[in-house]
A and B are shown apart, each in its own frame.
Chain A
Amino acid sequence: EVQLVESGGGLVEPGRSLKLSCVASGFIFSNYGMNWIRQAPGKGLEWVAYMSSSSSYIYYAETVKGRFTISRDNAKNTLHLQMTSLRSEDTALYYCARHDYSGEDYYFDYWGQGVMVTVSS
C-alpha cells in the first residue's frame, strides 16, 4: 500500500524558516518524481514544487522560487521542503504527492494527509 506521511509543520513567525518532510512507503521511491502542493485555509490547490526521481529536474512555483528548496533522500525514502523567509501568505496545508507518467500525461496519483504550516506573529 502506498503511503506518504508528512511532518514538520507548525506555527512560525514571519521571516523564519521551517523544513517539511514526507516519508514514503509501499513503492520504490527512487523511481518516482515527487511534488509539494499546498492549500490555504478554505482555498483551492496550488502546486509548489517538483523534483524528479534522480533529482535532475526541479521546478518551483514563482510564489516560492528563491525561498523554498525541494530535496530528497532516496536512501531514506524521504522528500523535503525547506522553507525560508516565510510569509503570512505561505500559511497552508502542505501535501506531498507522487508524480506518475502514463506515457501521455503527468498526474499526481497518491497524496499524503498533509501538514499544516501557520505563519503568524
Chain B
Amino acid sequence: DIQMTQSPASLSASLEEIVTITCKASQGIDDYLSWYQQKPGKSPQLLIYDATSLADGVPSRFSGSRSGTQYSLKISRPQVDDSGIYYCLQTYSTPWTFGGGTKLELK
C-alpha cells in the first residue's frame, strides 16, 4: 500500500502568512494526488486535483505543487474561512489512501 505522510498535523497561522501543507508519498504516484478541505461538521470538499489543478469555484489563493514524491498545498494570504482540516489523497493505486490530515487554525 502507498503511505501518504502528511505534515504538519496542525498549525496556527495569521492572515498575512503563506500556509504550506505537505504530503510525502512512499513511492511515485505520477501526480494522482488531490487535496480536500473539511470544515467542522461538513463533508470534505475538493480543492486541487492532478496535483496542481484548481477545482471549480476554489479561490486562486489555493495552489498545489510537487517536488519528487512530496506534494504541497499552499494557501496564500489565507482567510478566516479557510480554517478546517486538509487531506491529501493518492489515487495512483488501490487501496487509495489519504494523508492523516492537517488541522489549520487562522488567528
* Interfacial chain B residues near A102, Cβ < 8 Å: 49-50, 53
Interface residue tally for chain B (C-beta within 8 Å): 26
Which residues of B approach A to under 8 Å, CB–CB?
Answer: 31-34, 36, 38, 43-46, 49-51, 53, 55, 87, 89, 91, 94-101
* Interfacial chain A residues near B97, Cβ < 8 Å: 47
Chain A: interface size category: 20 to 34
Asked whether, in the complex, the Cβ of A105 is within 8 Å of the Cβ of B91, the reply is yes
* Interfacial chain B residues near A111, Cβ < 8 Å: 43-45
Q: For residue A43, which residue of chain B has the nearest CB?
A: B101
Q: For residue A106, which residue of chain B has the nearest CB?
A: B91
Q: Which of A95, A102, A108, A114 has the most CB of B within 10 A?
A: A108
* Interfacial chain A residues near B53, Cβ < 8 Å: 102, 105
Q: For residue B53, which residue of chain A has the nearest CB?
A: A102
CB of A46 to closest CB in B, whole Å: 7
Q: B31 contacts which of A105, A109, A112 (Cβ < 8 Å)?
A: A105
Asked whether, in the complex, the Cβ of B98 is within 8 Å of the Cβ of A44, the reply is yes
